[in-house]
Structure 1
């Protein structure tokens, strides 16, 4: 992960031919995806204005990524460990309200240890799961069981060395190290023990003494006592006598966990060492000729075991080399046999001495991480961890910083702390999978201003359409669900500006899908009044392009937003005014469709008299009134209402004659295919005629009323 080079197959340019490509007027270009961290790589001309004879030829476009998109089992690992990460940071956030020194108190250290142990336990579960020989419908594992085993051993070692239980920071570390070694690097194998225990005379097997040395070195008392007891049947009486002395000594080796005070443990250890010295004296009394059986020199092998118990470092180191063990086993045995009171701070010197003679394997990243942790070099451990798995280096660094193991000063070039560099690197890896955007920004937002800026960029690019298998039944529901999720995240991280930006983007998407109700709602939520004006224009355009029925259908979706805006104090009243007009005008056409002509006539006059309708829509309203002016024998307009219609008609005519016709006639002109201002004025003549006839009907009606009275 996090590679610095991407190899394309087949290559765009063969090795060593890049200069020829440039000379031909082309170069290799790449552009990053706004959706994830992938790249589009392609050939392009070296100059924009330069002509290229091959410009019309189709060229391949490569879609590449620095990181492999996490597979299903990896996504599960990422998601579950992010829960621990969030809880850990919740604890750190609460620490800000306390004294600065609180983070170094036993209470804080205990919490950090708890969360770190949670990481260890979950990695262990993943390792066990990945080790199961089960059929997989989603293909092979992206990361092998051995990879998770490496993460398990590294993180658990980190906890052992840097996060001991509170109060045990200065306690001897040998037993903890040996326990860690026995858990993660099991030697000797169970199969070897089963084989030897099945033999009547196991000492005749060539693996017997190596096995007994190993279980003694590893502190596996139960196994060592079992095979020491088998030696009571050995033909050599000298060996039998020595074994009778050794068995109670091995059985009674002091363990720190069995003592309430270290002082008592130290005293018991000194007395125990005296007993081991007595065994050495007894061994030296065995004649040279009696030190052999029919197979080998048993005395030399037993001497190695006693040398281990004595804590002779040269013997321990030689035995480890002969058994194929490495420096880790020497260091762990050192804390058990050489110096049973070995402290964590002193382990650094021991590790340096051992590693000088038995260096770590430079080809094994896991081993290099272990050696760096043993050596008290956390930053070096981070470098190796980042090569093994960006997850490991990010979570290492995240815990190391509050422990005071890392420099907190920002790098002058990157303006990032050491911790933030590794966490952001992991977040960039997560960005290879756009579906993990919530997890990605959780890590980014923990990385100061730069991390927050990067997180903002991801949030505003969250796709508003979900994957088909996850999407609701309609595109509108998909958008609403995505915006809701983004808004919740913005609220949690206090990113109000980002939320408004996402709402603006969602509004634009909704307009393209003609979901004007959601579009208006998002504009209001973003308090983007200019965009609200554009949405209203789009709704009104439905009338121009698709007719009154479609317009009424679409405009009805925004009616609830009018009530919401009227209940708020909005500075941009002009946009609210236009929104109200669109809703009220759509209602007129709804009345017409329902044949409620009285209400339709009343609303037309209201929109004009109260100047709710923009001037560019006056001619359209007047044209709409023609049908109502000519409706049967019923007079739908009062004479004062008809006069209002005539007043608006006169204003339009006068302004048009004065050169301001575009201010009034632009919308009506658009409804006339191929027409202009002249054709619009011609259509208004129909309105004038309808009004003249209406006034005549009103006069006749009033005359008849006078005669009847």
Structure 2
């Protein structure tokens, strides 16, 4: 393993020379990967193939937490989130193109749209570079400095210049665009030098004067060149005065492609301009040798260098740029403006390859290496180098490259395409910050099925934060927001993301996880709702069991309050197709049983009596709860002011009680009396049967009252109810 790929544990887990002792102790190193982010835990554990030493249990070994990427923070996180919006727009553009069965490079609108998005990337790099360079930003702790974003800016903008020309200029001369790019990103000569020289009375006596004038000429800065050539009208040499005045119109009238409607007109103007430069060379060569010095500089040689540039002498351009401290990029731009004015993008690889033989790129400067690969027409190689500089750059370049068909789209031996490789690497980098899970999923989901499967795992491990913190008020929790009708926070985002990317199985799994959490928090209405959304009918049954358990352990008041939010969910479930009948039936019982107790506690005894009878008549009540329901009915049966049940109701209760007695006599006491025993808080068998006798006695008295009074409730068609 290369040294840069190694992780050094501090303090050392194994002391120097102690490896054999560590092995003999029966331990080995283990690694556990976090499901939440890309961190890992390294620790010592027992080796199943070794026999641990007798004192190994007393040894202490620390757990080391390591992470392959530094999580993005501050300006970096802002940069990632802002550019993710552009990425999403690019994916939408690609999706629409696929739906219409067209290729982006084949449509003018597609190219324009993708160029606009690429320009947005460039502008974000520029803005972040400017921000990081500001004094306020320098006072902050920046994760990446201004120079880093400047490199992203230069690389992405060069990619646009070379591979995304403006419509109609694909096969046009590229010189002007290269020079504009060079002047934008590598400003020479400096404004400070120009200001300082312009403040001098005799600037030609300054040692930087001719360097400044030559560099301004190389870069096509005709205004600056014309200004300082005008200053030479005060030079003591009449020859230089005359020649400088002759040179000014040549520089200011230098033909540039953007000034002409047709390339042919540009070529004609360039030839005529070159003829004027030749005429100036003839005049320059006629200057006597003794007049070529001014006591400070051999002005003739310096002036000759400038004329050589205008003449387009390649060897002179290379020499002059090198003497001024320039590199191959500057030679390439100057070459395409002065030496070969009709050079096209397709010609650049051959030109640059020749230039790099004499002026090779700096191998320690990734920015320069990436530039050379882009100029040489090697996008795949440029991506590999861009990933070393910043995986963000590689991921967003490769996305555009594939859209423009600049790289191979077929998967390699790893079953990943080039695009997927860099996009997934970037997504793995973002996993170092769990708060960026949404962006991580967006990028992973834009890849093949492997990427989508990785996104599924990210979604399933997003912390939902549904547990109510200790000491928190109800209004401060996400659960309270959900009760208020605002499915807010992480859960809403995760489910929305599953819908967006059609990850139905993942959505159901997350709903099951949420339902379990809500059940733990005793938010049974939400638990039922999410079980139904996940179509987890066994889970729904577990929620009902938990609700009924609360009745046993906490009593009817708490039970009724906890089940209050389940009723609306029940109505929607009964109307929805596909609900599992058995579990829905149990839910209906729990809700009806809770409504019975709620009405009883509120004093609405008649409606409570209707609920109690309905649980038997509609066969909602499980047999294990019959005894409990009959026990709860005693209070209503003994009500002295009104007859709440009909005679038939009382007979129904007696039939249920008789079945309980008969089944218990046959040995099925656990099936019929276990829950009643638990509600009676540890009562013995004797007390339980005494309770059944009480129920029987109350029912007998109620039946007798019905017979004496002759009504026992409402009378319809001569029948007593």
Instruction: Quote how far apart the aligned CAs of 1:135 are.
Output: 6.2
Which residue of 2 is the match for residue 474 of structure 1? 477
- Aligned equivalents of 1:533 and 1:40: distance in 2? 38
Which residue of 2 is the match for residue 125 of structure 1? 127
Task: Render the CA deviation track for 1:40-72: whole Å, top value 9, x for unaligned.
Answer: 222212228854533344432222211111112
Instruction: Quote how far apart the aligned CAs of 1:327 are.
Output: 1.0
Identify the match of residue 584 of structure 1 among 592, 599, 602.
Answer: 592
CA contact (8 A) 1:466 1:478 kept: no
CA contact (8 A) 2:94 2:104 kept: no
- Aligned equivalents of 1:327 and 1:412: distance in 2? 37
Which residue of 1 is the match for residue 519 of structure 2? 511
Do the aligned partners of residues 338 and 23 (structure 1) sit closer, same or farther apart at CA in structure 2, a change above 3 Å counting? Answer: farther
Identify the match of residue 575 of structure 2 among 563, 567, 572.
Answer: 567
Instruction: Quote how far apart the aligned CAs of 1:487 are.
Output: 2.1
CA contact (8 A) 2:647 2:706 kept: yes
CA contact (8 A) 1:291 1:299 kept: yes
Please state whether the residue corresponding to 2:193 is helix, strand or coil. Answer: helix
How high is the TM-score relative to the length of structure 2? 0.92
Please state whether the residue corresponding to 2:564 is helix, strand or coil. Answer: helix
Which residue of 2 is the match for residue 350 of structure 1? 351
Q: How does 1:220-619 map to 2 (within 5 A)?
A: 220-413=221-414, 415-465=415-465, 473-477=476-480, 480-481=487-488, 482-619=490-627
Q: Which runs of 5+ in 1 are unaligned?
A: none
- Aligned equivalents of 2:447 and 2:590: distance in 1? 46
Greater Cα shift, 51-60 or 105-114 = 51-60
CA contact (8 A) 1:424 1:451 kept: yes
Do the aligned partners of residues 158 and 19 (structure 1) sit closer, same or farther apart at CA in structure 2, a change above 3 Å counting? Answer: farther
The question of 1:44 aligning with 2:57 is answered: no
Instruction: Quote how far apart the aligned CAs of 1:89 are.
Output: 1.2
- Aligned equivalents of 2:396 and 2:376: distance in 1? 20
Instruction: Quote how far apart the aligned CAs of 1:571 are.
Output: 4.1
Do the aligned partners of residues 571 and 94 (structure 1) sit closer, same or farther apart at CA in structure 2, a change above 3 Å counting? Answer: same
Instruction: Quote how far apart the aligned CAs of 1:625 are.
Output: 1.6
Do the aligned partners of residues 551 and 368 (structure 1) sit closer, same or farther apart at CA in structure 2, a change above 3 Å counting? Answer: same
The question of 1:75 aligning with 2:83 is answered: no
Task: Render the CA deviation track for 1:536-595: whole Å, top value 9, x for unaligned.
Answer: 111111101111111011011101111111222234111111111111101111122123
CA contact (8 A) 1:369 1:384 kept: yes
Q: Which runs of 5+ in 2 are unaligned?
A: 714-721
Do the aligned partners of residues 642 and 299 (structure 1) sit closer, same or farther apart at CA in structure 2, a change above 3 Å counting? Answer: same
CA contact (8 A) 1:174 1:332 kept: yes
- Aligned equivalents of 2:215 and 2:380: distance in 1? 33
Do the aligned partners of residues 679 and 340 (structure 1) sit closer, same or farther apart at CA in structure 2, a change above 3 Å counting? Answer: farther
Task: Render the CA deviation track for 1:419-476: whole Å, top value 9, x for unaligned.
Answer: 111011111111111211211111111002111111111112222118999x972241
Instruction: Quote how far apart the aligned CAs of 1:286 are.
Output: 2.0
Which residue of 1 is the match for residue 169 of structure 2? 168
How high is the TM-score relative to the length of structure 1? 0.94
Across the two proteins, how many residue pairs are aligned to each other? 700
Do the aligned partners of residues 448 and 596 (structure 1) sit closer, same or farther apart at CA in structure 2, a change above 3 Å counting? Answer: same
Please state whether the residue corresponding to 2:463 is helix, strand or coil. Answer: coil
Instruction: Quote how far apart the aligned CAs of 1:499 are.
Output: 1.7
Identify the match of residue 663 of structure 1 among 647, 665, 671.
Answer: 671
CA contact (8 A) 1:232 1:240 kept: yes
- Aligned-residue CA RMSD (Å): 2.4
Please state whether the residue corresponding to 1:96 is helix, strand or coil. Answer: helix
CA contact (8 A) 1:30 1:39 kept: yes
CA contact (8 A) 1:95 1:103 kept: no
Task: Render the CA deviation track for 1:274-296: whole Å, top value 9, x for unaligned.
Answer: 22222222222222222212112
Please state whether the residue corresponding to 2:56 is helix, strand or coil. Answer: coil
CA contact (8 A) 2:104 2:404 kept: no
Task: Render the CA deviation track for 1:338-392: whole Å, top value 9, x for unaligned.
Answer: 1011100100111111111111111111111111111111111111111111111
CA contact (8 A) 2:292 2:300 kept: yes
